[in-house]
Structure 1
Amino acid sequence: MLGGFAGTALAHGGGLRAAAGSLSVPTWLFLLTGGGVVGASFLLASFVTDRAFIRAVHRWRRVAGAPLDSVATLTRVLSVVALAGVVAIGLLGPREMFRNAAILTVWVGWWAGYVATVYLLGNSWPALNPWRALSEWLPSLDREYPETWGAWPSVAGLLVVVWLEVVSPLADDPRLLAWVVVGYSVATLAGALVFGPDSWFGEADPVARLFRYYGKVAPIQRGEDGLELRPPGAALTDAGLADGRDEVAFVVAVLWVTTYDGFVGTPVWVETATLLVEVGIPPVLLYPVAMLAGYGLFLGAYWLASSYSRKTAETYLTPDAIAERFAPSLLPIAAGYHLAHFLGLFVSLSPALVSALSNPLNPPINPSVVVLPDWFGMLAVAFVLLGHLLAVWVAHTSAYEVFPGRLQAVRSQYPFVVVMVLYTMTSLWIVSAPSASPPFV
């Protein structure tokens, strides 16, 4: 049973993917319907023009005090133990990926399961980050972090990590995974040693920045007085979340890498990549070029929308200022697609994860998996659409925070809605496509 699932779960050598299922309607009609839903949601949101109502919704909150610092000390100790365990089991445990607790912990427990809790509940990573815990226990040189670097190291780091996940057998080879974790740990601790934990994890570390941004989608936020309960996505309308071109670039990178991770598992990419390899383009060059080209396309489309928004809104705000204000509205799209892409994986392989953790050095030879029903694929579609609907509402709210006129606020969103519709149709096409794997990866 496990071997049969593996045939449909592996999208590429460096990632796990659940089967998408098949569509009972023409794909073109399915995609147009999804794009139409997002467009219609914008029209409905446009009727909500009462600023007082919009602000009341997004500024509603309930505060609950909690002894977070004492809890964080315990959770960081446990996270360091877990990090050491991943490396040890990766090096010493069984080589079969579905039996190795390190493989299952990283890809099923952490990347599929834990990441979802960050945008569904709240960002608990500051209390769980093992690398930050280690860096705070070690001395630091506290050199000044170069202001010109900004978020660019985290942009590059995110692209490199996902590219490495795609082109290498990180989900197949526990030994390789363990050494990659060691390498990432060395690089991260070295950066924190030079610049200090606050600067490194606040600016350069891609994982910390990813979780900080994803956490803004969630209803639970950490405020000055404790934990705050807010409407989902409300924190994305706070000013200053994406401050500068570098941080806008990171938000777009989050959206792109989730798309790229799914796109390389579609038959269209497999056929195209196979053809390009046959004509002489090496895979080692093909995949990074595709990564950078697609990212450039996504980033260019967003900046183009920002420029057109300035014209449609007839404002003196610069395209940069508009781009910074609307960039956070893209995060619900990335969150919805991540949930659509990985929920099936988490549900299917959770029993195997539990079995492997129960006896890491000698897990069951034939771990069980959950066989997903046919209707499960429609949940992926629903998550994609819900993410885009929340994105439309966040953009609508941000527009009323920025522009004084009602018509001006609505017109400013026209270009971004077009981009969101295109993102929607792309995401729906990917989650509905059957899985495929090129033979050369």
Structure 2
Amino acid sequence: MHAPGRCPRLFRADESRAHDVKACARLALAGPLLLPGEVAAHGFSALYNPPVPVWMYGWAAAITLVASFVIAGVLLTARHAPAAPASRDIRGTGVVRALRRCLPALRLTGVQVLMLCVATGYLGSRDPVRNFGMTFFWVIFVLLFPYLTVVVGNFYAALNPWRTLGDALDRLWRGFSHGRVRYPQRLGDWPALGLYLGFIAFELFGTGRPVPLGHFLVGYTLLNLAGIWLVGRRAWFAHCEFFAVLLRLIALLSPVDYRRGEGDEPGRLHLRWPFAGLLSERPRDLSSLSFALAMLSTTAFDGLKATQWWVGLFWADPTGLMTRWLGVAPVNAYASLRPWFLGWESLWLFASPFVYLGAYLGAIALARWLTRSPRPLRELALDFAYALLPIAIVYHMTHYTALLLANGLKILSLVSDPFGRKWDLFGTAQMFRAPILPDYSVVWHTQVGLIVLGHIVSVFVAHRIALQRFASRRDAMLSQLPMLALMIAFTVAGLWILAQPLTAVLMR
């Protein structure tokens, strides 16, 4: 969930590897000086002029959030905020029974697709756009699965191919998935967060080629199997396998509440109101809170790093300090500074969740002071953390939907020719090869609308949680003023990132 506004590196044309990199650097830095303030139509290599200035969109979004805050305060009362939202068990329905019979085949298919992605990584076309594994993993799995999870719940928990492989090994090696050591509870979800940030770094700073993807999938498969063997299946997929943690959090927005049973525990499959999971669950500890914030911060960082402003911040040397230190402008020392730039970007990527955490804790501390609440700061921070998840998912949708439209349907043609050998196994090799490119104005206004909508949902969810945690409506309203300011800041920052011109050349 992590490349807002434009196609990730794997679907861009290769950067020139010519020796004259200085010319490329100058070209990239000339952009901010020559281009006016048009808005990049994200997902497309074009600029779009919105009908009104971007600052007007920011003011309109802020006013909308304030109005939503007032409406929530008027319409929502304590008696409308039950601690356990109503749900209906649907495990006995005919559709669910049919799906349950299909589960073994679906799980086997998941493993086969994983193996196909590995095989095409090593043996398939070297063109990322014509490679089945690249399109399926990055576009269908990384992009589409989160959207499907919002609609149908955490189906990944049932189909997780790495869990299926662990279960298969458990049948051959009795006790394989029981674990050898007890998982330290103090670790919480920190392992999942570390792996998630490492994965984002691999996506953003890797070569974006099929073979490295094959290496990643093989390595991640071995890591999952080793983790299952070491700490056991339950602990590994609850705290360490970052796709499982990520999609479990996204599923809190879904009207379908699915939880896979463990051991003798029965599974759960209920229908509930959309976003009800955000009211009934809260992070376990600071690690879970940080993971939720990372879903938001990494998306924002990935959008920011591709802007001319961000590249110019390092290479244009606005303070002049680097020029005095080097004796020449940074752009003229590209070869020696390139590793430093990559390290600088990596540092900000890994720091981004904690930057957001600091801003969030500041808002919660102010809310606690305004209400004179005796509830500890840590507990209040955990109470409201998942109210930010709607913002995270709409940022993902805002910045990735164009890429999904442009490349997602190609999977139908690649299924018939997964290795790029001009096969036509299922008669679909010529289907949907052309990208779907919506009008730029549609893209821009959809992005603005989604960002505002996600923040409005977060305002209502946070107010419902406040009604549960504070004794009076007055305190509930007061507690949400800092959160409202934080959400307005997120909204304006998101629109500002969308409005920045993109770099012509990546400086790495």
The TM-score, its normalising length taken from structure 1, stands at: 0.91
Q: How far has the Cα of 1:334 moved from its partner?
A: 0.3
- Within the candidate set 212, 224, 232, 2:248 is matched to 212
> Could you say which structure has the larger radius of gyration?
2
Q: Assess if the C-alpha contact under 8 Å between 2:11 and 2:128 holds in 1.
A: no
Taking the TM superposition and a 5 Å limit, the aligned residue runs for 1:39-438 are: 39-55=66-82, 59-65=85-91, 66-67=96-97, 69-138=100-169, 139-140=176-177, 141-170=179-208, 173-222=209-258, 226-239=268-281, 241-275=282-316, 278=331, 280=337, 282-361=340-419, 362-363=421-422, 367-374=433-440, 375-436=442-503, 438=505
Q: How far has the Cα of 1:201 moved from its partner?
A: 0.5
Q: Comparing 341-350 with 64-73, which one deviates more in the overlay?
A: 64-73
Partners of 1:423 and 1:85 in 2: CA distance: 40
Q: Assess if the C-alpha contact under 8 Å between 2:81 and 2:468 holds in 1.
A: no
- Listed one character per residue, the Cα deviations across residues 351-387 of structure 1 (whole Å, up to 9, x for unaligned) are 3222112211225699421222231331122111111
Q: How far has the Cα of 1:103 moved from its partner?
A: 0.9
Partners of 1:231 and 1:383 in 2: CA distance: 20
Secondary structure of 1:424 counterpart: helix
Q: Assess if the C-alpha contact under 8 Å between 2:6 and 2:400 holds in 1.
A: no
Partners of 1:311 and 1:217 in 2: CA distance: 30
Q: Assess if the C-alpha contact under 8 Å between 1:263 and 1:269 holds in 2.
A: yes
Secondary structure of 1:233 counterpart: coil
In 2 relative to 1, CA 153–323 (structure 1 residues): closer, same or farther, beyond 3 Å?
same
- Listed one character per residue, the Cα deviations across residues 366-422 of structure 1 (whole Å, up to 9, x for unaligned) are 942122223133112211111111111110111111112111111111111111111
Partners of 1:317 and 1:121 in 2: CA distance: 35
Q: Assess if the C-alpha contact under 8 Å between 2:294 and 2:352 holds in 1.
A: no
Q: Which residue of 2 aligns with 1:6?
A: none
Q: Assess if the C-alpha contact under 8 Å between 2:306 and 2:506 holds in 1.
A: no
Read off the aligned partner of 1:230 and give its amino acid letter.
R
Q: Assess if the C-alpha contact under 8 Å between 1:15 and 1:166 holds in 2.
A: no
Q: Assess if the C-alpha contact under 8 Å between 1:167 and 1:287 holds in 2.
A: no
Q: Comparing 150-159 with 286-295, which one deviates more in the overlay?
A: 286-295
Q: How far has the Cα of 1:230 moved from its partner?
A: 1.9
- Within the candidate set 18, 21, 30, 2:43 is matched to 18
Q: Which residue of 2 aligns with 1:30?
A: 57
In 2 relative to 1, CA 274–102 (structure 1 residues): closer, same or farther, beyond 3 Å?
farther
Partners of 1:213 and 1:237 in 2: CA distance: 12
Partners of 1:376 and 1:211 in 2: CA distance: 26
Q: Assess if the C-alpha contact under 8 Å between 2:467 and 2:476 holds in 1.
A: yes
Q: Assess if the C-alpha contact under 8 Å between 1:313 and 1:411 holds in 2.
A: yes
Q: Which residue of 2 aligns with 1:5?
A: none
Read off the aligned partner of 1:233 and give its amino acid letter.
F
Read off the aligned partner of 2:43 and give its amino acid letter.
A
Read off the aligned partner of 1:33 and give its amino acid letter.
A
Compute the RMSD of aligned alpha carbons. 2.4
Q: Which residue of 1 aligns with 2:31?
A: none
Q: Assess if the C-alpha contact under 8 Å between 1:42 and 1:392 holds in 2.
A: yes
In 2 relative to 1, CA 80–318 (structure 1 residues): closer, same or farther, beyond 3 Å?
same
Q: Comparing 272-281 with 158-167, which one deviates more in the overlay?
A: 272-281
Q: Comparing 229-238 with 135-144, which one deviates more in the overlay?
A: 135-144
Read off the aligned partner of 1:330 and give its amino acid letter.
L
Q: How far has the Cα of 1:70 moved from its partner?
A: 4.1
Partners of 1:301 and 1:116 in 2: CA distance: 27
Partners of 1:261 and 1:73 in 2: CA distance: 37
Read off the aligned partner of 1:18 and give its amino acid letter.
G
Secondary structure of 1:440 counterpart: coil
Number of aligned residue pairs: 430
Partners of 1:22 and 1:110 in 2: CA distance: 33
The TM-score, its normalising length taken from structure 2, stands at: 0.79
Secondary structure of 2:289 counterpart: helix
Q: How far has the Cα of 1:229 moved from its partner?
A: 2.2
Gaps of 5+ in 2: 13-41, 170-175, 260-265, 318-329, 423-428
Q: Assess if the C-alpha contact under 8 Å between 1:10 and 1:437 holds in 2.
A: no
Percent identity between the aligned chains?
Answer: 27
In 2 relative to 1, CA 291–15 (structure 1 residues): closer, same or farther, beyond 3 Å?
farther
Read off the aligned partner of 1:238 and give its amino acid letter.
S
Q: Comparing 31-40 with 179-188, which one deviates more in the overlay?
A: 31-40
Secondary structure of 1:157 counterpart: helix
Partners of 2:156 and 2:501 in 1: CA distance: 33
In 2 relative to 1, CA 164–322 (structure 1 residues): closer, same or farther, beyond 3 Å?
same
